[in-house]
Structure 1
Amino acid sequence: MGAVSARPTRSIRSTRSARSIRGTAAVALVTALTVGAAACSNPERGSAGKKGAGESAVVGIAYEPESLSPLLGFGKDGNSKIFDGLLAYDGEMNLTPALAAALPAVSADRLTYTYKLRQGVTFSDGKPFGAKDVVFTYRTILDKKTNNASKSELDAIKDVRAAGDGTVVFTLKYPYAPFAQRTVQPIAPEHIASKQDVNTGPFTTKPIGTGPYLLSGWSKGEKISFKANPGYWGGEPQVKKFTMAIIKDDDVRATRLRAGDLDGAILPPNLAAGFKKDKGKKTHAATTYDYRTVTLPTGNKVAGDTAVRQALDVAVDRQTMVDQILEGAGKPAYGPVPTGSEWFAKGTERTHDLDKAKKILDAAGWKPGNDGIRAKDGVRAEFPLWYLTGDKLRQDHALAYASDAKKAGISIKTQAGTWEVIEPRMKHDAVLAGGGAPGDPDFDQYLLLTSSLAGDGFNNMAWYDNPVVDKALQDGRKSGDKAVRKAAYDTVQRELVKNPGYTFLTHIDHLYVVDDNWEQLTNQIEPHDHGLASGPWWNVEKWTPKGTAK
């Protein structure tokens, strides 16, 4: 048996986290927060310039989880703060041991992964961590009764069992190439979570884990507060109190950062630029797999028409979006895979060509009316496009997309709403969505495009249905041969040119403005999700007050 490679296959160009279009696999639903409420809220005011600065931090994020249970999807891609996985990612996105004592030993046929566990680890309630907790976690997630929208990500698991209290053995159904990356999945305590309803029990909001922080409070729609875990196996963090303020509105987040209520925040490029002259703050840029895309639901008579989809794909001016909306902090997107990735299918780039878009529509029978908007068989080329209230980047992308579409004779009506408003409309209305996950192409594409997942929460929001893509996704998932997998994902990307169920617009670099009070701040390559798991605070447990780092 050999050890799995420490570095997972992973692109290093900017781009998706959770991560996929499902908004963190339907777990990271955004909670509506009015501007007034956000402006009045003051969660443990920022520490900058105050006594004790360096021991506490308050950061502003836009997304709030629906649950804090890893059994329901929380922290599935790592960095949950409260929990640990068997493995973790370091700053260079190498896999490193966490609750496992070493990287797994892998059988020659790549169907068996054996993990030796770290000894002496305890949960925050003082109870010991062991193999039974790992087995319980994975088996519970895979249970049909568990409401985990991402359980298909663990489909390769045939069995997981304990070999004594210090060893866990996974047996796979097929040689799933990125399996080790899936074992960053946080581990829940069997002695607590097994004694309550997995979907509704108190563990979903009052978690107990082995991670560097303990949950000290959660005011939904306002803040999530943490305190350092003095018994953490990796050493007690120097940042003793850490608060994530839930602020959906970009402008409010910037205002509160400027007022000193926050020590750091994620901001769109135009708002981050306003802090360039602030000597007390530093801007951290993270390359990502994060994309913005427009869902073109198959159930809509206009958006589901192949010719309309093809026309929109070339009518959109992606480079102008990068230049003007992102101010250069990103790149054009032609699919879920960024152009810098080894998995990108060269030749699938689409050039902005308005004349070509018009010819496609003309040939398909979509004829311009007196007002310039096209129609076919009595159906007007018009459909709604929803974007998230308060998200200026999505709003700007939606407006630019609608403007480009109108030039081709397609009328798109942009509307803002919360996810609670948008989700019931996704089967027939277009959505300015986000997605993307670093690493293996299976991580994002399977949930994004598989027809069997259409309508499954935020999975396959466009209800995309393409048998060729379905087969290619299965081939890519089940083969252990990289050449076979590369061919499969090339097929997926080329099919998206022929029948694009989404119009991919841009891949976005994330910008964070943070008070310059700490050392050891770094960035990982990030997924779409940029809340609890990402940002310079991905390793807040390793921060040290400025001037004290050794």
Structure 2
Amino acid sequence: MTARTARGVAAATLAAALITGTAACSHPAAAGADSAVVGIATEPESLSPLLGYGKDGNSKIFDGLLTHDADMRLKPALAEALPEVSADGLTYTYTLRRGVKFSDGAPFSAEDVAFTYRTILDAKTNNASKTELDAIAGVEARGGDTVVFTLKYPYAPFAERTVLPIAPEHIAGRQDVNSGDFTTRPVGTGPYLLTGWSKGEKLSFTANPGYWGGEPAVKKFTMAVIKDDDVRATRLRSGELDAAILPPNLARALGDQHGTGDKARRTYAAKTFDYRTVTLPTHHAVTGDVAVRQALDIAVDRGAMVDKLLDGAGKPAYGPVPTGSPWFAAGTERPYDLDRAKRILDDAGWKAGEDGIRVKDGVRASFPLWYTSGDKIRQDHALAFASDAKKAGIEVKAEAGTWEVIEPRMKTEAVLAGGGSPADPDFDQYQLLTSALGGDGFNNMARYANPAVDSALVDGRRSGDQAARRAAYDTVQRELVKNPGYVFLTHIDHVYVVDDRWEGLTTQVEPHDHGLGSGPWWNVESWKPKQK
């Protein structure tokens, strides 16, 4: 849940203007043989990397120094090789790829790299994710093709941070970083050029003929922004979309079958670190009570949620780290135990009233739980959580709203939120749990405060020793058992349905954000039309 990750907008979804070049509308035409129209649920607020866009890589308009392959291993992008790292872990040196140009024809250089990182770290820049670069003490361009980062401490996953897209100094450096044209009319080195952005509807792209990696075979690429899951499924079924992310039950009805015009479709599932969680605001008389938190944490039937809400496309979640990850702390699983949940509440003085809802010191065990309108998966999770909570004597009132409605209420009202990053445990956990970021936008939405967790998070990000880092993140996960500021429900597999007319489609292990940078189109620049 970093920066805007709670609403799924930090780095990953794009779409705009009609492919045909006519006036924008909400129903993009079906794509041609060298075009693709993809339906996603959210869009970014800005397309500037200086403000956080594409910070986890794979932005399509831009490139980072490094990128990920299909197995999420780092590989060179704008750098010609992986960095040279000093013995003390405090210096990272990158040699840049020669001959790369921005899409306006200007040459890319080390100065652009230094400019990008310095600008993000500038206090005047409105980038909610700048704490992710806290380890940087300085960045220096040496000549045109060498960049040297100096760190304050040996931050083990630093190379992962250099997938961040690079902005052109000659354009972005000449305008207001927070409000200039570059935020909506970006220029980068990536495989695609933005041709238009009709906010709330779509963004459109065309292949970059001068891309250093070779011009993509998919010449036109459109991301249609369709917030409602059912509407997205309907438009895929009608042939208006060539692909879409869908909830598992809707994907099952549409995938691996013939669609409009007898076009075959295929279903792609991606394993993820994407969790759904209920925030338990510290500043609320009910959700701030540790006994209530502990009770809710074991009163939820996570297994039933996976089976019934996700059709098995996921797994129970006990924290931000999935159970299959090497970073998961064994023994922190919380089995469903309604009887024990009731005992915890009884012992803490929460006694059942006449209507079955518990009361303590005149406070009724009741609170609202907000979820985003049109998101079927969040709605289903919210309703299932409310049903389970009621069995323990806690009233949860599920409410739907836009993020504009929800955000002002987050300090004292619970939210069905999401987050998750496979790159490194620091990437998600620090911004989710550190008390230093409580109430900072969508960081630490519950305003969770636990000194043991704060200390472990600092140890985890500042140590270069793998065993020490593992111990730190084990501590975080075990502290969440004692005092869960969030009730983690499920880790969700992302499911996509795509017309079966291209070759080269795969999926990666994905973060919470799923749009342009994730899904089978993570490598759309490498797709080739199927030979008939």
The answer to whether TM tops 0.5 is yes
2:498 is aligned with 1:519 = no
2:375 is aligned with 1:391 = yes
Which deviates further from its counterpart, 278-287 or 368-377?
278-287
Query: How has the CA–CA distance of structure 1 residues 243 and 276 changed in structure 2, closer, same or farther, with 3 Å as cutoff?
Result: closer
Give 1:445's aligned residue: 429
2:456 is aligned with 1:456 = no
Query: How has the CA–CA distance of structure 1 residues 18 and 247 changed in structure 2, closer, same or farther, with 3 Å as cutoff?
Result: farther
Give 1:168's aligned residue: 147
Give 1:355's aligned residue: 339
Whole-Å separation in 1 of the counterparts to 2:441 and 2:494: 25
2:57 is aligned with 1:78 = yes
Q: Deviations over 1:177-203 (max 9, x none)?
A: 000000000000000001100000000
Whole-Å separation in 1 of the counterparts to 2:293 and 2:139: 43
2:99 is aligned with 1:99 = no
1:131 to 110, 115, 119: 110
Q: Per-residue deviation at 1:43?
A: 4.4
Structure 2 counterparts to residues 142-291 of structure 1, below 5 A: 142-276=121-255, 278-279=257-258, 280-291=264-275
Q: Per-residue deviation at 1:273?
A: 1.1
Whole-Å separation in 1 of the counterparts to 2:11 and 2:191: 22
Q: Which amino acid aligns with 1:150?
A: S
TM-score, length of structure 1 as denominator length: 0.92
Whole-Å separation in 1 of the counterparts to 2:174 and 2:461: 34
Q: Deviations over 1:341-385 (max 9, x none)?
A: 111111100010000000000000000000000000000000000
Q: Per-residue deviation at 1:439?
A: 2.0
1:502 to 470, 473, 486: 486
2:312 to 328, 353, 357: 328
Give 2:469's aligned residue: 485
1:428 to 408, 412, 435: 412
Q: Deviations over 1:266-325 (max 9, x none)?
A: 000110011145231000010110000000000011011100000000000000000000
Q: Deviations over 1:212-268 (max 9, x none)?
A: 000000000000100000000000001000000000000000000000000000000
Give 1:122's aligned residue: 101
Whole-Å separation in 1 of the counterparts to 2:371 and 2:436: 25
Give 1:8's aligned residue: none
Whole-Å separation in 1 of the counterparts to 2:7 and 2:519: 16
Give 1:417's aligned residue: 401
Q: Per-residue deviation at 1:20?
A: 8.1
Give 1:536's aligned residue: 520
Task: Specify every segment of 5 or more residues in structure 2 that has no aligned partner in the other structure, as ranges.
Answer: 16-23, 259-263
1:342 to 316, 319, 326: 326
Q: Which amino acid aligns with 1:135?
A: A
Q: Per-residue deviation at 1:22?
A: 3.7
Which deviates further from its counterpart, 539-548 or 353-362?
539-548
Q: Which amino acid aligns with 1:343?
A: W
Whole-Å separation in 1 of the counterparts to 2:4 and 2:391: 30
2:67 is aligned with 1:88 = yes
Structure 1 residue ranges (4+ consecutive) displaced by more than 2 angstroms after TM superposition: 17-31, 40-44
Q: CA RMSD in A?
A: 1.6
Give 2:278's aligned residue: 294
Which deviates further from its counterpart, 228-237 or 270-279?
270-279
Query: How has the CA–CA distance of structure 1 residues 182 and 172 changed in structure 2, closer, same or farther, with 3 Å as cutoff?
Result: same
Give 1:10's aligned residue: none
Q: Deviations over 1:491-528 (max 9, x none)?
A: 10010000000000000000000000100001011000
Maintained 8 Å contact 1:82/1:214: yes
TM-score, length of structure 2 as denominator length: 0.96
Aligned pair count reads: 519
Q: Per-residue deviation at 1:25?
A: 7.1
Give secondary structure in 2 for the equivalent of 1:416.
Answer: strand
Q: Deviations over 1:82-140 (max 9, x none)?
A: 00000000111111100001110011111100000000000000000000000000000
Q: Per-residue deviation at 1:46?
A: 2.0
Whole-Å separation in 1 of the counterparts to 2:490 and 2:145: 45
Whole-Å separation in 2 of the counterparts to 1:325 and 1:282: 22
2:362 to 373, 378, 381: 378
Whole-Å separation in 2 of the counterparts to 1:181 and 1:29: 20
2:482 is aligned with 1:475 = no
Whole-Å separation in 1 of the counterparts to 2:523 and 2:395: 45
Give secondary structure in 2 for the equivalent of 1:298.
Answer: coil
Whole-Å separation in 1 of the counterparts to 2:123 and 2:330: 39
Whole-Å separation in 2 of the counterparts to 1:470 and 1:410: 29
Percent sequence identity over aligned pairs? 74
Query: How has the CA–CA distance of structure 1 residues 433 and 498 changed in structure 2, closer, same or farther, with 3 Å as cutoff?
Result: same
Give secondary structure in 2 for the equivalent of 1:439.
Answer: coil
Whole-Å separation in 2 of the counterparts to 1:492 and 1:441: 10
Q: Which amino acid aligns with 1:352?
A: Y
Report which structure shows greater RCO (CA 8 Å, sep ≥6). 1
Maintained 8 Å contact 2:2/2:443: no
Give secondary structure in 2 for the equivalent of 1:432.
Answer: strand
Give secondary structure in 2 for the equivalent of 1:239.
Answer: coil
Q: Per-residue deviation at 1:27?
A: 7.0
Whole-Å separation in 1 of the counterparts to 2:227 and 2:5: 18
Give secondary structure in 2 for the equivalent of 1:233.
Answer: coil
Q: Which amino acid aligns with 2:491?
A: H
Give secondary structure in 1 for the equivalent of 2:443.
Answer: coil
Q: Which amino acid aligns with 1:132?
A: E
Query: How has the CA–CA distance of structure 1 residues 18 and 246 changed in structure 2, closer, same or farther, with 3 Å as cutoff?
Result: farther
Maintained 8 Å contact 2:91/2:148: yes
Q: Per-residue deviation at 1:477?
A: 0.6
Whole-Å separation in 1 of the counterparts to 2:527 and 2:30: 16
Maintained 8 Å contact 1:336/1:436: yes
Give 2:301's aligned residue: 317
Give 1:6's aligned residue: none
Give secondary structure in 2 for the equivalent of 1:129.
Answer: coil
Give secondary structure in 1 for the equivalent of 2:417.
Answer: strand
